[in-house]
A and B are shown apart, each in its own frame.
Chain A
Amino acid sequence: MMIAISVNALCVLVALTCAVLLYQGWKRSGARLLFWSWLCFAGLGLANLLTVADYMTGPEIDLYLIRVTIRLLATTLLVYGLIWEVS
Chain B
Amino acid sequence: MAPFLLGAGAAVMALAGLVFLRMWRSTADRFFLLFALSFFLQAANRGMSTLRIDKGEEPDSYWIRLMAYLLILAAIVLKNRSARAAH
Contact = CB atoms under 8 A, between A and B. Distances in A.
A82 B55 contact: no
Interface residues of B, number: 25
B70 to A, nearest CB: 8
A79 interface: yes
Given A4-B57, A7-B66, A11-B69, A69 B16 contact: no
A83 B9 CA distance: 16
B36 to A, nearest CB: 11
Interface of A: 3-4, 7-8, 10-11, 14-15, 17-18, 21, 51, 55, 62, 64-65, 67-69, 71-72, 75-76, 78-79, 82-83, 86
